[in-house]
Structures are given as structure tokens and as C-alpha cells.
Amino acid sequence: MIRIGQATDDDWPAILDAHRRAFGRDEEAGMADAVRSSDGFVPELSLVALSDEATSRCQTQGHVLTSLVGLEGSERRLLQLGPIAVLPELQGRGIGSALVRASLDAVRALGEPLLLIEGDPKYYSRFGFVRADELGLAFA
């Protein structure tokens, strides 16, 4: 069983490690850290996956971040999902899917009408995401 919870300050070393290990590089960890220190950070939308046996937050298995992003030429900000990471040795076990579903539930609970994602349409379509151009939206 996977438990999803809101990330705490104490979780961040393990979160950054998960992003580094999941992608084998520092870019996504840097992106997560930059979002965390920005005005777009929404603490209740920073979620961690913990094993059912976890006795402490140091056993973080994955992380997803949803934050506010600006639209060029507009004061309106929208929510964007990502980055998302799962420890490499635990990928393919449904942890990423559980994080995406929990993010969608949290965004709905906030009453947000739209959630952006940049990623593989084949993967994210199973969660109800559709390509922006299919809706007549274009992003530069």
C-alpha cells in the first residue's frame, strides 16, 4: 500500500535525492528546489509517497510538485504538475500513478478549473489529460 502525504521541510533532502536518482541528473531536483523557493510554491500541492512500512519521512519513495505558473502577457496564473519522481528501484509499481491521482484530487479540492502538464501524452491521457492543441489552446 502506498501512502501519500503533504511534504514537510524535513522531507526535502529525500525529495531532492529522489529527483536526482529518478532522472540520473540534477536538473529536476534543481527545478523542484527553485519552485519551492518561488512565489508559485503551493505547499499543500507538494506530495510525497511513503511505503506503508515507513516509520519516518526519510523513507520517501517519490514526490510530485504542482505549482502556480504565469502566462505571458497575463496576470492570470495556472497550476502546472511537475516535476514528478519515483526512486528508480521502485518505478513501475504504481507510485507515480498514485502521486498523479493524489495531485488531481488536491487540485480539485482547491476548485482549480485547469491543470497543465508537460509530458508524454500517452502516459498522462490515462488520468484524463488531453493535449492543449486538441482544445484549441496554444502555448508558446
pLDDT digits (tens, 9 = 90+) for 48-75: 999 866 454 448 999 999 999 987 788 8
Place of cell 496554444: 138
- The pLDDT of residue 74: 81
Exposure b/e, 103-123, CB count within 10 A at least 16 = b? bbebbeeeeeeebbbeeeeee
Strands 77-86 and 60-70: antiparallel
Amino acid, res. 120: D
- The pLDDT of residue 23: 95
- The pLDDT of residue 97: 96
Boundaries of every domain in the chain: 2-135
Residues 6+ apart with CB under 8 A from 54: 3
- The pLDDT of residue 81: 96
CATH of 2-135, one of 3.40.50.360, 3.40.630.30, 3.40.50.460, 3.30.2130.10: 3.40.630.30
- The pLDDT of residue 140: 59
Strands 115-117 and 77-86: parallel
Instruction: Indicate whether this model's pTM tops 0.85.
Output: yes
- The pLDDT of residue 53: 64
- The pLDDT of residue 51: 81
Amino acid, res. 36: R
- The pLDDT of residue 135: 82
Distance of alpha carbon 28 from alpha carbon 107, whole angstroms: 22
